[in-house]
Structure 1
Amino acid sequence: MHGTHFLIPAVVSVLLCKAVFKIWKLRRIPTVGYTIPPLYYVTAFRYRKNARIMVEEGQRRYPNQVWKIYTFDGWLIIANGIKFVEDISRAPEDQLSPGASFAEYLQLDYTLGPEVTSNPYHITTVRTSMTRNIGTQFEGTHRVVVSAFDEAFAPCLTETWNSGPIGTWLADVASHVFTYQAIGFPLCESRELRELFSNSGAELQKARVLLWFPAWLRLLASHYLLGVHEALYEVAKHIQPLIEERESRKNEKAADNDKKLAIYEDILTWTMESASKADVEITPLRMAKQIYFLSITSRLLSETLLNAVSELSIHPEFIQPIREEIEECLKDGSWTKEAFAKMARLDSFLREVLRCHDFELLHLGRKVLQDFVLTDGTVVPANSTLFVNSHSIHLDSDLYPSPQEFQGFRYVCGEYRGCTTATSSIQLALARPTVEYNALGYGKHACPGRFVAAYLLKTMLAHLILTFDICRAHGLGAESRPDRSREVFLRKRYSTGEPTHHLET
């Protein structure tokens, strides 16, 4: 009993000393909120509920400076202004690590395992094989897009206006398309697999609860508290026969080079090839982890489409010009990569959707492995987490005229208003990051799957615009988080005439 009386104060003292030492190292960086423990937990609660407001406060108080804020993830160091985008993007990985930051954020070592971050051959799969094969997969992807929309949006394939859980329907479409890209036919028709991939982002986000546990308990806690491990075993069980068949055919082909064998062009095959090149043993569970990790893009695709459809319903003036462009580019009936590369209006519209409805307030997250000096002389100490305030960059009136206004054709220079100085001389593609546009990262560590994502988004939204009329209930305004069940109404498009854009309520 007496020992306990001494132990508790000792532990508390050690924790306080560690917290104070951390604060001392960061003392030269200004703060939003409280600095001293335990008061800084008040700031952490405020940030959890009102992150956007606090990030905007940091921008107002410290323009073009670096500041810090305490969150349940620890201290975040946030850089305001585009000058820091280049600083961070060019830093060597032994100083600023994007992989370590992402792994820590989602606690990947305790869910997918450290091999996903220590040997990320899935990035090779995305950057090389997936990107190079966008064109060869286009025809099959288009067929799946049509089938997925027919299945998910069946209630809207009538002459009458209908609404429903638009977000859920789009999530079904995105997971259907991703599953086809991952493992092809016929397993892409498996509802169980599609649901596993659709839910992967939410399941991996739940791993953030592990931050409340000491490191030595996190693996055990993840097995008891999270559904990720069960999902991985289910995915592994489904893909095991495919892996065995493809390994068998590969060995068969090696034995007889003249023998013609089926060629599989999907993520599973390319991941198996990347694993072989990385000298990693191919097992169903290892392949399941890689595919499951990549499947988090399914949710990002569906969220972007939801925001795009919402903006079309609020700004119907963009529908007909985009529709005309799509029809012109597809006039020969071929849904190809080359045709979609010409769709500048559709490209610009989606880029503006991502600017106005970015998934994150902060981008270019880096774990600081060694003390790092920014160009303004700020020293960011090792073991910190550093971000760029992309939210404020995307709303900077010096970079984007009328930044609060949604301008779907902002980037179609020479044709529409709102083209910024930075974009006046070149047509920017959706997948091309710049210092003033960080939604998909920037520099050598920009999202490796951005080209694939861009073509998938354009294909799905093009099909939706050609297939459906879109409107909204009269009087409903723009919301930062669209209502998934009531705001947007659709009906089957039977004519090329202008639809009614407001549904009276």
Structure 2
Amino acid sequence: MDQAQGQPWAFVCVGILFGIVIFRWNINPLNDIPTAGRFSSSTWLSYLAALSFIRRGRETLQEGYRQYYGSAFKVALLDRWMVIISGPKMIEDIRRRPEDELSFTETVQTLLQYKYTVGRKMQDDPYHVVVVKEKLQNRLLPNVMPSLIEEVPPTVQKYMPVTDHEWTSVDVLAAALKVVARTSNRVFVGSPLCLNEEYNDVSVQFAVEIVKAGTVLFLFPDILKPIAAPIVSKVRRTTERALRHLRPIIQERRTAMQELGTDWPDKPEDVLQWIMDKAVAKQESDADIVERLLLLNLAAIHTSSSSITHVLYHLAEQPELLGPLREEIEASIETEGWTMSSFARMWKLDSLLRESQRYNGFTLASMMRIAMKDIVLANGMFIPKGTLLGAAAHPTHYDNGRLPNAEIFEPFRFARMREANGSEGSARLQFASTSSEYIAFGHGQLACPGRHFAANQLKAVLSYIILNYDFKLPETEDCCSRPQRPPNVYVSLAVLPPIGGTIQLRKRAVC
């Protein structure tokens, strides 16, 4: 009897809940923005659209770009809508917006769930990002690049071991991660810690754990996140593992700073010390210092290893590229040595990196921002506070109207364009340069601050590999067709190089 009497109330509650959802959907200010993707015409079907976007993100962005070019559209993510803008006018509009309107910092903190994965200080005072902007751009790069360049030969030889005549199979992404971690850590923490295999693995694992934890916590309502975070996140444990390696070094440097002041002979010039220079004044703990260091490693290691992986696949697929690249690299080194000046002369290698990044990319959308207040875009479109925005990077880079034969991989296209332009306009076509047509690094003041360091690191590593190795792809069963590199993996907005794929290497055959 009681159960029968309770059933009408259950139906009433369900009806009220349904009505609230429909009401909220109908008054959602994003309803006026057109939607791209399947199943997204209603509040219920939008969840199916979000699941579809995980598998078909590339196709969905291309569809929206084609239909709404020069304006904006939205796509369904698992926890929210994301507004995607396209066209030079809209990209420039986003670029010009200040942080108190459209915030990149808030985007990173939200996507990685800083509030629950790392210390509160990282969210309230992210000065480690300022360290990169101040130190790892062109001004101080000449001071740290010699040590990185010195680290390249032994590192590559260890993780890409080959013989004189036999072809050796190498897991490209795994080797690239090892090479980038060790060479990056030469600049981040110095030697001998950069030689420590366990520490390098921890610095790689930190990035994996924080992205994993951020992704999972994103799916929880805010009220449950503090409860779920200790269960889901291994970020703190990974930080503690890194701290075991770094604590003696930090303590030694703290002592030197107390006894010798802010400067002393042989003071280390690495990222750890740059962070400590600010952290000690702020009375931060050793754990805070390590967390900031690992957050910077997050961007440096994974983006650069992805870039190297893509380039090595292209070289193995098209070994005829090695001849002109070797000629350019050898001529540059003969003139300038293993220096940044030498890397600046390598237009073909720079073009290969830029074209690979354009063609492959790190993510389908860039210039991610969260609206910190209600704003109106240049086209009159209203964006409410809290909205996640991004620019359609992949469709922009594949737009034949902006770049001829954009669907074709042309490794030296930007070198030819620079030669055609002469000195005027040449700089804007470099790998680390940004524009409304090339937004892999973002664009404007909030473009990736470490891209100049990354460009020189990539050239140092790839120059050595190109000069000392021959490449090819594994043979296929079809002996009549030319082997092709395995396809990239697309998961939602992420672009991943082939995982577990291999290429064949041997020592360079000298005629």
Aligned residue among 270, 274, 277 for 1:273? 277
Structure 2 counterpart of 1:285, from 280, 284, 287: 287
Superimposed CA distance per residue, residues 150-194 of structure 1 (whole angstroms, 9 cap, x where no aligned partner): 11112x243211113121111111111122221111111211111
Aligned match of 2:25 in 13, 20, 28? 20
State the partner residue of 1:142: 149
Q: CA deviation at 1:201?
A: 2.5
Alignment match, 1:490: 505
CA contact (8 A) 1:163 1:486 kept: no
Aligned equivalent of 1:370: 373
Deviation per CA, 1:393-448, whole angstroms, max 9, x where unpaired? 101112211001111111114677xx7x9998424221111110000110110111
Mapped partners of 1:384, 1:352: distance in 2 = 32
Aligned to 2:260: 253
The one-letter amino acid paired with 1:74 is R
Matched, 1:208 2:223: no
SS in 2 for 1:303: helix
Question: Distance between the aligned counterparts of 1:85 and 1:99, measured in 2?
Answer: 18
- Cα distance per residue 1:260-295 (max 9 Å; x no partner): 63310111000112335xx52231110111111111
Number of the residue aligned with 1:381: 384
Shift of 1:51: 0.6
Q: Distance in 2 between matches of 1:46 and 1:349?
A: 33
Task: Tell me if the contact between 1:348 and 1:408 (Cα under 8 Å) persists in the aligned partners.
Answer: yes
Contact 2:205 2:238 in 1 (8 A): no
Out of 93, 115, 118, the position equivalent to 1:109 is: 115
Q: Paired residue for 1:240?
A: 247
Q: 2:267 aligns with which of 251, 258, 263?
A: 263
The aligned residue for residue 172 of structure 1 is 178
Counterpart selection for 1:87 from 93, 97, 102? 93
Contact 2:34 2:72 in 1 (8 A): yes
1:373 & 1:422 partners in 2: Cα distance? 40
Which whole-Å deviations, capped at 9, do the CAs of 1:38-73 have from their partners, x for residues lacking one?
A: 221110000011111111111122222211122113
2:491: which partner in 1? none
Q: Which residue of 2 aligns with 1:47?
A: 53
State the distance in 1 between where 2:60 and 2:458 align.
31
Report deviation, 1:35: 3.7
Tell me, yes or no, if the aligned pair for 1:355 and 1:439 is still in contact at 8 Å. Answer: yes
1:82 counterpart letter in structure 2: P
Once residues 180 and 15 of structure 1 are traced to their aligned partners in structure 2, the CA distance between those partners, rounded to angstroms, is: 56
3-state SS of paired residue (1:163):
strand
Q: Partners in 1 of 2:424 and 2:61 — Cα distance? A: 29
Which residue identity is paired with 1:269?
Q
User: Larger deviation: 37-46 or 485-494?
Assistant: 485-494
Q: Offset at 1:322?
A: 1.3
Structure 2 CA distance for partners of 1:201 and 1:396, relative to 1, 3 Å = same
Letter in 2 for 1:288: V
Point out where structure 2 has 5 or more consecutive residues left out of the alignment.
476-481, 489-496
Aligned-residue offset at 1:217 = 2.5
* Count, aligned residues: 486
Matches for 1:407-486 after TM superposition, within 5 Å: 407-413=410-416, 425-427=425-427, 428-473=429-474, 475-481=482-488, 483=498, 485=500
Find the counterpart in structure 2 of residue 503 from structure 1.
none
Give the match for residue 494 of structure 2.
none
Q: Residue 251 of structure 1: SS of its match in structure 2?
A: helix
Tell which deviates more after alignment, 383-392 or 125-134.
Answer: 125-134
Decide whether the 8 Å contact of 2:171 with 2:503 is kept in 1: no
| Deviations 1:290-343 (CA, angstroms, capped at 9, x unpaired) | 111111121111111010001111222321111111111111573112211221
Q: Report the 3-state secondary structure (helix = DSSP H, G, I; strand = E; otherwise coil) of the residue aligned with 1:199.
A: helix
Structure 2 residue aligned with 1:344, among 342, 347, 353?
A: 347
Aligned-partner Cα distance in 1 for 2:236–2:148: 29
Gaps of 5+ in 1: 498-505
**Counterpart amino acid of residue 375 in structure 2:** F
Alpha-carbon offset, residue 485 of structure 1: 5.0
- SS of 1:359's equivalent? coil
Find the aligned partners of 1:486 and 1:441 in 2 and give their Cα distance: 28
> Equivalent residue of 1:412, what SS?
helix
SS in 1 for 2:99: coil
Instruction: Name the SS for the 2:361 alignment partner.
Output: coil
Task: Please give the TM-score of this superposition, normalised by the length of structure 1.
Answer: 0.90
After TM superposition, give the deviation of residue 5 of structure 1 in Å: 4.9
Identity %: 27
Change in 2 beyond 3 A, CA 1:331/1:216: same
CA change 1:478–1:19 in 2 (3 A) is farther
